[in-house]
Chain A
Amino acid sequence: MLQVQNIEKVYGSRNNVTKALDRVSFDVADGEFLVIMGASGSGKTTLLNCISTIDMVSAGKILMDGVNVAELSEDALAKFRRERLGFVFQDFNLLDTLTVEENIGLALSLNHADPKTVQTKVREIAGKLGITDILAKFPYQISGGQKQRTACARALVAGQSLLLADEPTGALDSRASKNLLELLSLLNRDMGATILMVTHDAYSASYAKRVLFLKDGRVFNELLRGGRERSVFYHEILDVLAALGGDVSDVL
């Protein structure tokens, strides 16, 4: 589905250049749950921004179903984002002025979906994510976990093919984090959602099928879960992080 080929991202002017991404390459297959890990400043959020077309690469290619996103016009990029990508952010990014139902429906509305079908589709996805009873509430009236479920619903309701999650558990307590990660696994397993998640939390990463490690803008290592237990996979991730030399706070 997604092919990242030798991408580079350079910030700054001639005298003060920072290379945030350095020849990064990987593929994401349909229905995969991939996690990108790394310490603060390793380039993982820059990578996500480039994939989501919010930022443009300095070199290399990002192909989505064979289409180079760098060659798309501004309008085509907007269309690409709303039709193909779903976002879940650390700070939820729900609009305070809209109810939960409207926040989810917004994605359909932006996709110019038939207005008559919006409510039905929103209720359908809300039922799957267990948030039907909070549809009439505003974001300030619900918990962090419920906000993230709402964000997931918004990311999938319009049939988006790739869900991009940026530290989705960053603002949640451990119980809400566990619930969200189980939900993402469920969406991946039962609904076939392709998920690309960025995190520096090993526990969150252990829910993925594959983990890529970034260090100083380069792919440092890759781990495949295969048929292993999640707890085993978790410890393997910790070992790689230790080898990476990340801070303890980044690992735990």
Chain B
Amino acid sequence: MTYCKLSLRNARRQARDYLVYFVTMVLAAALLYAFNALAASEEVRFLAAGSANLSLMIALGSVAVVCVFGWLAAYSTRFMLSRRGREFGLYLLSGLTNRQVARLFFLENVTVGAAALVLGAAFGGLLWQLLRAIVLAMFAQPYRFTLDFSLPALGLTGLYFALIYLFALGRSRRRIRKMKIYDLIYFDRQNEGAVLKTGALRRLVFGLSLVLGVIGICLLLQMNMYVALAGALCAVLGLFGFFLSFASGVPAFFDRRPARKYRGQSLLVFRSLTAKLASMGVLMAVLSVVFAATLISEGSSSVLYGILKGRTAEAACFDLYIGIEGGQPDPEPYLSYIGENIPVEQERLYPVCMTGKTQLQDYLEDAYYNYDYDSDPVLRWSDYAALRTLAGYPAVEPPGPGRYLIHCMPYLAGPLGAYPEALLVGQTALSLSGLYTEHLSQSYGTANGRGYLLVLPDEAAEGLPVHHLAYAAKTAQPVTTKQYEALAGLARAERGRENYTFVLSKAYEEAQVAAQAVLVCFPLYYLALALMLTAVTILTIQQLSETERFRRQFALLRKLGMDRREMARALGRQFALYYSLPAVPAVLIAASFIVHLAMMPEPGVMVGWNSPAAITAVSLGVFFLIYAVYILLAYTGMRRNVLPN
């Protein structure tokens, strides 16, 4: 039999035995292709209006992703080598040379890699269409499915894959060429070296690691970034300590509590775990840190997108808005430019006034409101009603005589709605008749108040001091970048030390959000997916490598009278614990981090689907969805193979 035939046959067997690894490499190729296609797409470059940055960011992301998948390939090939050492030893015994065996191993891995690349690129084509649809939706562009294939993206994916495999196989090749028959045959007996040699030291470290873990999590829950960082450090140290000492610490715990050890399936479950962790403590800690990095990367991406989206949703709710400030605010240059260049369907020029008092500002206190504003901002009812029409909001009842309305950002609705006292404007006392929370451009200094404004009957607002002038319009077409930049240029030319005139265009702001998302959020998510797939694949390969041991164990247990339900329960519990161990600390560390990050922006931005709780929940949801798919695949396969019929 030629080497090629033998390699091909082994490659087929490898793809079957290490199906999880093969599937992950297919997904890796798909991810690499889809993001390369994104970076190479003229359409996306045009929309993002920053092609150099886009390519750079995706390239940086790809470098990180290639390193991550390189680690996976290197780990998996070494693992396969250890499992097949006996087979390679037999090849040597049969007369093949080390060089020939190395070549055989190289060829079969290259075959598997090439198959993964072909399948992955095909799947990547579909994934790219999904990415494209998301990007176009973000830029408010129509999407139509097209079956195009990017040659540059394919070339780059091939190059990255070659790098991944050459790195992984180069190491294995050197190893095989140096190994003697004995080393190969007994290669599978080599475990990860025990870092903590003595049982007493391990038990001490186990206790310390638990203490460090608890301290770390307590610190992480404090609402202070520096304290949280110290907490993260403690938690990571605790994590390494825990996994390195687990194999001694847990048996010591059970030895002191024999009744617990012999209850139900505890004995089998905990001993299976300690046996496994005795040989992969460092790896387990590393995987836990990688899971935390996955969640942090994923969460950071969502937080960043949430900040951009949240700020823009509030600020740019009108097609065009200009806040004009100054001692004698002059709207003429802007109105003139708009009249000549921008077709407008509806528009309104209006003053934003002040009550001269800080009654509501004082009431809200720092907990809710930390902006400096001279006094409570006011809008005339007629202006407010026009603004609602411009923004496309339903009409509301006007405030009657002696009444007023509040329009505020949603986070202030609770406290402002509960304001118990009458509002004093001059000598007149007004009572609240309604509160509305739609976006109304309330997050900047020269906007419709900061966070909130009072809407008074026109006659009640008569004579109040003007804070600034504002202009809002509904345009016939979205404002173009050129038009926006012309207006912004006018504002810059007028802007003095006390003048904060600024221009906001819905189309421009939304395009900026989409561009930033493509530039920063996408690469972060890209990295998160690569980290997740790599870590869960390594974890699963390790678990599936126990198939033979589990098969022997359950065959014996059947003879000893354990029924199948109990076996399935023991296996399920072992799986649950095995997969929980690296995930739980990672979730605790990362969730604290994400919540901190999401609470950093000014109030009112991270609300609704962008609230800290929602972002954390969605990040965890995506994480556990992928995790669950791998666990389910591993569990069903293992259950079918190890439980007696």
Binding site for B on A (CB under 8 A): 52, 54, 74-75, 78-83, 85, 87, 93, 95-98, 102, 105-111, 113, 115-116, 118-119, 154
Contact = CB atoms under 8 A, between A and B. Distances in A.
Interface of B: 258-264, 267-268, 271-272, 274-275, 549, 553, 556-564, 566
B557 A110 contact: yes
29 contacts: A78-B558, A78-B563, A78-B564, A81-B560, A81-B561, A82-B560, A85-B561, A93-B559, A95-B271, A97-B274, A98-B271, A105-B261, A105-B262, A106-B268, A108-B262, A109-B262, A109-B263, A109-B264, A110-B566, A111-B561, A113-B262, A115-B261, A116-B258, A118-B258, A118-B259, A118-B262, A119-B258, A119-B262, A154-B560
A102 B267 CA distance: 8
A111 B263 CA distance: 11
Q: Which of B258, B549, B560 gathers the greatest number of chain A CB atoms within 10 Å?
A: B560
Majority secondary structure of chain A interface residues (helix, strand, loop or mixed): helix
A56 B270 CA distance: 34
B262 A75 contact: no
A97 B274 CA distance: 8
| Leading 3 A-B pairs by shortest Cβ distance | A82-B561, A81-B561, A78-B563
Given A82-B561, A98-B271, A102-B267, 9 more contacts: A78-B563, A83-B561, A96-B275, A97-B272, A109-B263, A109-B264, A110-B566, A115-B258, A116-B258
A105 B260 CA distance: 12
B396 to A, nearest CB: 69
Contact of B553 (A95, A111, A154): A95
B560 A115 contact: no
A206 to B, nearest CB: 27
Given A96-B275, A116-B259, A118-B258, A109 B556 contact: no
Contacts of A97: 271-272, 274-275
Contacts of A106: 267-268, 560
B267 A105 contact: yes
Nearest to A80: B561
Contact of A54 (B262, B274, B275, B559): B559
Nearest to B257: A115
A121 to B, nearest CB: 10
B558 A82 contact: no
Contacts of B264: 109
Given A97-B275, A115-B262, A75 B563 contact: yes
Given A106-B267, A116-B259, A79 B558 contact: no
Contacts of A95: 271, 553, 556
Q: Which of B260, B271, B561 gathers the greatest number of chain A CB atoms within 10 Å?
A: B561
Contact of B562 (A82, A85, A98, A118): A82
B556 to A, nearest CB: 5
Contacts of A75: 563
A111 B549 CA distance: 23
Nearest to B271: A97
Nearest to B556: A93
Q: Which of A79, A87, A110 gathers the greatest number of chain B CB atoms within 10 Å?
A: A110
A107 B271 contact: no
Given A105-B262, A115-B258, A115-B260, A98 B560 contact: no
B251 to A, nearest CB: 8
A119 B255 CA distance: 10
Contacts of A107: 560
